[in-house]
Structure 1
Amino acid sequence: METNANTTTTDPDLLNTPAARAAFGATRAGIKIYGALTAAALLAVIAVASTGHLVNPFMWIRAILLPLIAVLLHRLAVSASRGSRRAFERLRGISAVFPVAIVGVDLIPGVCPWWYAAVQALCVLPVIRIAFTMRGAPLRAAFPKTR
């Protein structure tokens, strides 16, 4: 039997608890902060490049892509808050892996200057908060494991 991936897959009553609503509120706030920080990082790259300093292609590509990821995270959070288990699991996984990947790549010598690595590390702090929120008791209760 085929199912629609966007259907609600959890009990709506579990999503309407004050704790679950607060957890999704914190998640949405973290995504907004992440989006604002990555937009500021993009503006910083533009400012550095406009003053004649060297900005490599890696910095440009990442500075453009990371704010776009905020849109993806927001869409996943909205779907998860409406009961989509698939969106919840994806947001949960991305929020755990994403900060490690960003910081890990920045630590490769010669990839980017220290200031850019510091800005990127600052940008992923809200995503780390999202990762902890996604693993908290309220959302684990809202999306119980099924097997």
Structure 2
Amino acid sequence: MTTRKTPATTVPAHALSDPRTRRALRSTTRLVGWYAVLSALTLGAVIALRDHPGLVNDAVWVRSAIVVATSLLMVSFAVRTARGHRRSYLRLRLASGIMLVAIAAILALPGDFPLWLKSEQAVCGVLLLLVVLIANGPRLRSAFATE
């Protein structure tokens, strides 16, 4: 009978000890944190402007709520990734990529979103693009590679 070797759930401490790896993890966590802050502020603006249908419609409510929820999940993924959790690293890579594509679609397609929300989403897109580039870069990929 053969047994399958399951990958460790965390990377060894020495894989995260390189200063450039630590800097990449810190940058990713900060970028995701700014994304969450901006998303929460946007939801606050949506709540404050709820009586202005030209600025806030149903699509804005739904999108803002989804973005806040995913940003908070991504914060947890980034924090756990910085602690060396492999699955959180994978989740961070996937979530940031998926949200970046969703933001690109919102910016590219005409629709129900007002210019102010598209502008906010463009800033979020830049933050997430940086997260995608760092998280998928060679430094973190090698640190989280399975042995």
TM-score by length of 2: 0.83
Quick one: distance in 1 between partners of 2:8 and 2:59? 34
RMSD: 2.5
Partner residue in 2 for 1:107: 108
Q: Is the CA contact 2:96–2:132 (under 8 Å) kept in the aligned structure 1?
A: yes
5 and 33 in structure 1: CA distance in 2 versus 1, 3 angstrom threshold: farther
Q: Which residue among 7, 10, 13 is the counterpart of 2:9?
A: 7
SS at match of 1:49: coil
Give how far 1:37 is off: 1.1
Partner residue in 2 for 1:31: 32
Quick one: distance in 1 between partners of 2:110 and 2:53? 23
Partner residue in 1 for 2:72: 71
Alignment of 1:1-147 (within 5 A): 7-8=9-10, 10-51=11-52, 53=54, 55-144=56-145
5+ residue gaps, structure 2: none
Instruction: Tell me the percent identity.
Output: 32
| Count of aligned pairs | 145
Deviations 1:46-67 (A, max 9, x none): 2332356452211111112212
Quick one: distance in 1 between partners of 2:111 and 2:97? 25
TM-score by length of 1: 0.83
